[in-house]
Structure 1
Amino acid sequence: MVTAPALLTDARRARHIAEQVPDPELPMLTLADLGVLRDIEVTRDGTVVASLTPTYSGCPAMAEMRADVAARLRDAGYARVEIRTVLAPPWTSDWITPAGRRKLAEHGIAPPGAAPRRAAGPVPLVLSATRRSLACPRCRSTDTEETSRFAATSCKALWRCLACREPFEYVKEI
């Protein structure tokens, strides 16, 4: 059995290791930057339990995230590793850290604004297009247009800056 102080030290070390794992779809971000690494704990028998929340249900990158976190922890010497998927509360783009937002912009991807606030209950169906102003991550102009609602992943959209003429991706608010 592991003592309480040892558990705390192991949990801090394990968290530090897991926080360094890059996101497979946005490799400039770590899972901590993205906000999907929810918790790290060490049980009394020494098992490291990492909790991850997917950015949306059906996220194809979750299997790789789980495998990458488990591999990094095992490579660091943790023999028993368990990865849990936590669905509640659901992930929101508000969980992206300030450092994560800065890294997205530095890599030419427009970071999300604040996630929409809704009352509890059914999600309203909106059939009309919504027009938004989005700043280009390269030149900061707001003279931009959406070219595709979906990009390489469902959580991003494609935009174009009409000022500098450069295309860019945008991480959608969720």
Structure 2
Amino acid sequence: MSSEKILTSDVLITSKTNLRGEIIYANEDFLNYSDYKIDEILYKPHSIMRHADMPRTVFKYLWDNIQQKKEVFAFVKNKTKFNDYYWVIANVTASCDASGNILNYYSVRRKPKIEAVKTIEEIYKVLLRKEKDNGIKAGLEELNAVVKSYGMTYNELIMSLQK
């Protein structure tokens, strides 16, 4: 049985991935909460942390946007090495060189509000059902419909839930 690890308010989980999504940097907070040692995760796909409760739709949205150099915020349920889990509010951006070429991706994750997690869990259940029945395209359509129903952009919705 997995158990939840709850972040403390002072935690800043940070990591960098290369253009293929492989971890090239992880700070001490990342290692502490994920239960991995640095040599176990370097150059491994960041998706090693993906919890089964996380819709692939959210990651598709995230990757599509950061590859266009757009900042993305997202609530993410991560899986630890020992199959425990923890929720974060993630801020993901592309790091670019002086010419504007993407060098890597940088993510900072903090403790999410409990109320926000409760709301997002319900949204993610719907997205998972859509994905299971009709694929990621249907998941993205549903995500867009949910966001539109709030009358905000995706990032505005995520940040309003975290307020």
Q: TM-score range by the shorter chain?
A: under 0.3
Please report the TM-score for the alignment, with normalisation by the length of structure 1: 0.24
The structure with the larger Rg is 1
Relative contact order higher in (CA < 8 Å, ≥ 6 apart): 2
Please report the TM-score for the alignment, with normalisation by the length of structure 2: 0.25
